[in-house]
Amino acid sequence: MAVEWSTSAPDLLVSLDRQGAAPLRVQLEDRLREAVRTCRLAHGERLPSTRALALHLGLSRGLVQECFAQLIAEGYLVSRAGSGTRVASVARQRPDRPGPTAPTAPPSAPALVADFQAGVPDLGLAPRELWAWAVREACRTASNNAFDYGDPRGDAHLRDVLAAYLRRVRAADASASRIVVCAGFQQGLALALRVLVLRGHSRVAVEDPGSIGTVTALARAAGGDCIPIPVDESGLDVDALAASGATVVVVTPAHQWPTGVVLTAERRRDLVAWAHQRDGVIIEDEYDAEFRYDREPIGSLQGLAPDRVISLGTVSKSLAPTIRLGWALLPPWLAEPVGVAKQTADRGAPGLDQVALALLVESGRYDRHLRRMRAVYSGRRRVLVETLAEHAPQVSLTGLAAGFHAVAHLGQGAEEEDVVARARQAGVGLYGMGRYRSAPATGPPQLVIGFGNTPDRVIEEGIRLVAPLLR
């Protein structure tokens, strides 16, 4: 499909040699033919008007009209009243100068009746109006300096607001000087690992099951390696961590991803002791800390050891992934080098978006949106539990105290991959725990069932369809 430009005179780059032997009209015709043959001008694309192109090139309009008429006669262009002059759909590339070819579309997969993908918030309930208000207010109230490049560590006011928020909600030991605003969790982790590997912390541990693929890729990109550490019903196995030789570990202590277990108080103390004894660093992923239901909120691990813990948070789950804003709360000795790494990476996150986020948080609108979404996700969790109890009562669910996913435990002898494949044939997206393990075939058969982006009615229909596979 041809691009439709919003102006009646789209720009077009044409180079003419005014000192050359060829007449300007001949040069213009040749340049346009070549642009069509090589698909620089795509089939159906509109050209500038003869008046606009003549003015742009410093030529007479009559010369451009004669050029267009010649190319229309040759079949390169077409002209219709009210539609302007466009590239003809029958124009072909020269066989010796093939232009870019359109990628072949992959065969479309059958539409899913329900998709229980985990880690995705309700995209239909993304706070569009709230965000639009915040961006408008940012544009209206921001000082002229806010439109400059700004501090690569992040907008000073947003860092103040985030520090106050983390102290209030997460019991963190936070100050603006130790916060670096980044493009979500992944960039925050990448920046931290880059700095840590340069300082000799090249062995990075990650929970197993957990975000093994992401952490491994980022550790290797930084020049280190990654070691999976088992997780049990009490969280990360700290004894196994100590035996691994790693000096950095990435953990999700408040609601382990994806098993949903909570790192016990004893393990928390052991993990902090490990960090002090081994000169280690704990990277805490607070991926769904805002969403807790039937338990008291658990404070950030960072509050126990602010000199040893990097706490990473984002608005990907609370607002929407597309906003691409997060933060790293750093120990004092890491704040400056990570800030320098951020400057080297991209010179800083989008400034107006940072001002908008600060407005959302300090106005109370962010908290109100979170309260609304907690009610929504809590209701979906209840629907999932009740529907499974009705249609597949032998399947137990765990990991439901927070977030918007749960772990379904299949019976002995069940094959995760077989259940997932047969569910997709029935039009339901299910996902096995094996995709989050270092060795997919190990461990009991389990499913990670996300309900963040799955409405109540869809949950009911999806579970009803796959219930025979789960029994």
pLDDT digits (tens, 9 = 90+) for 220-261: 999 999 999 999 999 999 999 999 999 999 999 999 999 999
Residue 244 C-alpha from the chain's centroid? 31
**Spatial distance between the Cα atoms of 434 and 443, rounded to a whole number of angstroms:** 8
Cα separation, 397 vs 380, in Å, equals: 14
Exposure string of 311-329, with b = 16+ CB inside 10 Å and e = fewer, is bbbbbbbbbbeebbbbbbb
The runs of H, that is alpha helices, within 174-287 are 184-198, 212-221, 238-244, 265-277
Q: Please, is 90 exposed, middle or buried when counting C-beta atoms within 10 Å of its C-beta (0-12, 13-18, 19+)?
A: exposed
Mean pLDDT of 452-459: 96
Q: pLDDT tens digits for 315-327? A: 999 999 999 999 9
Query: The whole model's pTM is what?
Result: 0.85
**Fold of domain 114-122+368-470:** Aspartate Aminotransferase, domain 1 (3.90.1150)
Q: What is the pLDDT of residues 76-87, one digit of tens each?
A: 999 887 778 999
pLDDT digits (tens, 9 = 90+) for 409-428: 998 888 999 999 999 999 99
Report the alpha-carbon distance of residue 442 to residue 209 in Å, rounded. 10
- Which DSSP string do the residues of 282-314 spell out, in sequence order? EEEE-TTTT-B-SSPPPPPGGGT-TTTEEEEEE
Q: Count the alpha carbons within 13 Å of 414 in the hemisphere toward its beta carbon.
A: 24
Average the pLDDT over 122-130 and give the result. 96
Domain with residues 1-105, CATH architecture: Orthogonal Bundle (1.10)
Joined together, the tokens standing for residue 329 give: 């709360």
pLDDT tens by residue, 156-186: 999 999 999 999 999 999 999 999 999 999 9
Whether 98 has a pLDDT exceeding 80, the answer reads no
Distance separating alpha carbons of residues 416 and 414, to the nearest angstrom: 6
Instruction: Delimit the domains of the chain by residue range.
Output: 1-105, 114-122+368-470, 126-364
DSSP 146: G
How many CB atoms are located within 10 Å of the residue 344 CB? 11
Question: What pLDDT score does 112 carry?
Answer: 92
Distance separating alpha carbons of residues 192 and 185, to the nearest angstrom? 11
Amino acid (one-letter) located at 77: L
Average pLDDT over the chain, rounded to whole? 91
Angle at 237 between CA 232 and CA 240, to 5 degrees: 135
User: At residue 99, does pLDDT exceed 50?
Assistant: no
Q: In a 3-state reduction of DSSP, which class is residue 428?
A: strand
Q: At residue 350, what are phi and psi to the nearest 5 degrees?
A: -55, 125
pLDDT in tens, 348-405: 999 999 999 999 999 999 999 999 999 999 999 999 999 999 999 999 999 988 899 9
Strands, sheet with 446-450, edge to edge from the N-terminal-most edge strand: 396-398, 405-409, 446-450
Give the CATH number of domain 126-364.
Answer: 3.40.640.10
**pLDDT tens digits, one per residue of 53-77:** 889 889 999 999 999 999 999 899 9
What percent of the chain shows pLDDT beyond 70?
Answer: 93
Q: Which tens digits make up the pLDDT trace of 107-118? A: 556 689 999 999
pLDDT digits (tens, 9 = 90+) for 268-300: 999 999 999 999 999 999 988 888 876 677 889
Instruction: State the number of CA atoms in the 13 A half-sphere of 428 facing the CB.
Output: 27
What is the predicted pLDDT for the residue at 7?
56
In the block, residue with structure tokens 């309900």: 451
Residue 94 has pLDDT above 90, yes or no: no
Of 206, 175, 173, the C-alpha closest to 189 is 206
- Is residue 97 predicted with pLDDT exceeding 70? no
Q: Are 166 and 210 in contact (CB under 8 A)?
A: no
State yes or no: pLDDT of 196 exceeds 80: yes
What span, in angstroms and rounded, lies between the C-alpha atoms of 120 and 314?
13
